[in-house]
Copies of this chain bind each other. A is one copy, B any other.
Amino acid sequence: MAVGTELLLGQIADTNSKWLGEHLAAAGVASHFHQAVGDNHERIVLAFRTALARSDGVIVCGGLGPTHDDITREAIAEVMNVPLHRDDSAVEAMRTMFSSRGREMPQSNLRQADVPDGSAIIPQTKGTAPGLICPVGHKVIYAVPGVPYEMSDMFERGILPDLRRRMTERGETTGVIVSRVIRTWGMSESGLAETLADHIDALDALPAGPAPATIAFLASGIEGIKVRVTVRADDDESAARLLDAQETEIRRILSEAAGDVVFGIDDQAIEDAVAATVSSRGLTLGLAESLTGGLAASRLVNVPGASRWFRGSVVSYASEVKFEVLGVPEGPVVSGEAARAMADGARRVLGADVGLSITGVAGPETQDEQPPGTVFVGLARAGHDTESFSFNVPGDRERVRQYATIAALDLLRRTVGGPISG
């Protein structure tokens, strides 16, 4: 549960819930709901009652500050039906914190030492407000500051040990839940689902207990569709073994049905796949970009060590730059011929082993009689005829550029090398 009107107004993003979700999952604790609520006493109390009705424990972030709109403490006291008292050790810790910074503690900070009767304190090591462990019947509220690094510190030191103790007392397995994301380009979500349907059915149909792995499809973002495999196991090592087996099987099924569609695992982006493909072969790469205006280059330089294999890009947005710098023959610049000449030009001008070019129509107008979304990609390599490829991508100007960049880099990955291994 995140507390703060600024979250509801969209003035800041709630990054704490994402962080907590990730770390709770890694610890084998199932998260069922997130909530955000503003700085309003009645609504915070209502959010706590809702949360406690449907979950065994609630972690609340924010509203522990020293100002008048920091009211999480009071709301918890109401939910627990107890008064607040001032905790001397917390006052002392705050005084020490202030004096170590050579400052006098303002009176208003004293409020931060108010704790509901019956609750325990998670001491601060980085800020002023202590965290709270507040039992509500056999359930529990953990309250921590909204400042991300104070929150994460108290989660590790205070919340996680208490959660583990409660789970052990209840005889619940404190195993781990671990996920792995297999990233694909070139297949639709429904196409992936149909291709993997038999595998998923087989997992669900296994006798004795819950499925050993669950599979979900994520279409978020624009960089292809993700296949997420989640397993529950006693420890990280067993989980990794289960995930390895699932990954191998899913790669096999997809490869048989649709070829080399898997480009990476977890956080690996398409530029990481290109980097692995190009650098492992000892090659250097140069680009010539028209449609994408430098977007492909700006992604490649994000890969650590890119300077070892990436030479640069000629962003030839004006046609004259294509003709004069890259040596493209005068004529239509959205064509396979232009794409091939641009790729050759990139190799020559930038002194690279491999030249990749991207030209096309961002829209909204047509160009060289081609509709918006038309993309031509050129690929020049020593010992090969220079090739060109064409395809269409959907979306507005910016999206056309992003899709064209991903598709061109994927084409390079597939043509020059194989998939990178997980």
Report A's interface with B, CB cutoff 8 A: 2, 4-15, 17-23, 25, 31-40, 43, 46-47, 50, 54, 65-69, 101-103, 106, 108-109, 126, 146-147, 149, 179, 181, 188-191, 193-194, 200, 216-221, 228, 230, 284, 287, 289, 292-298, 300-302, 304, 306-307, 310-318, 320-321, 324-325, 349-351, 362, 392, 394-395, 397-399, 401
Contact = CB atoms under 8 A, between A and B. Distances in A.
Contacts of A34: 2, 7-8, 14, 34-37
Contacts of A191: 106
A55 to B, nearest CB: 10
A220 B50 contact: no
19 contacts: A4-B218, A8-B34, A10-B17, A12-B221, A13-B18, A14-B14, A33-B35, A50-B50, A67-B190, A67-B217, A68-B200, A69-B216, A102-B392, A109-B190, A146-B219, A149-B399, A294-B294, A304-B397, A311-B320
A287 to B, nearest CB: 7
Given A13-B13, A33-B43, 6 more contacts: A6-B218, A32-B37, A65-B189, A65-B217, A313-B313, A313-B315
A106 B8 contact: no
A7 B19 CA distance: 10
Contact of A316 (B4, B33, B146, B312): B312
Among the interface residues A102, A146, A298, which one has the most CB atoms of the partner chain B within 10 A? Answer: A298
A279 to B, nearest CB: 14
A215 B394 CA distance: 39
A356 to B, nearest CB: 13
Contact of A146 (B50, B126, B220, B313): B220
Contacts of A47: 33
B220 A6 contact: yes
Contacts of A287: 315
Contacts of A25: 8-10
A43 B33 CA distance: 8
B18 A193 contact: no
Nearest to A25: B9
Nearest to A112: B190
9 interchain residue pairs of minimum CB distance: A294-B294, A10-B22, A293-B301, A10-B21, A294-B297, A34-B36, A313-B315, A295-B298, A294-B298
Contact of A325 (B4, B296, B350): B350
Among the interface residues A9, A19, A193, A394, which one has the most CB atoms of the partner chain B within 10 A? Answer: A9
A351 B9 contact: no
Contacts of A296: 294
Contacts of A66: 189-190, 193
Contacts of A109: 190
Contacts of A65: 189, 217, 219
Given A34-B34, A66-B193, A220-B11, A315 B315 contact: yes
A216 B39 contact: yes
Contact of A318 (B20, B37, B310, B401): B310
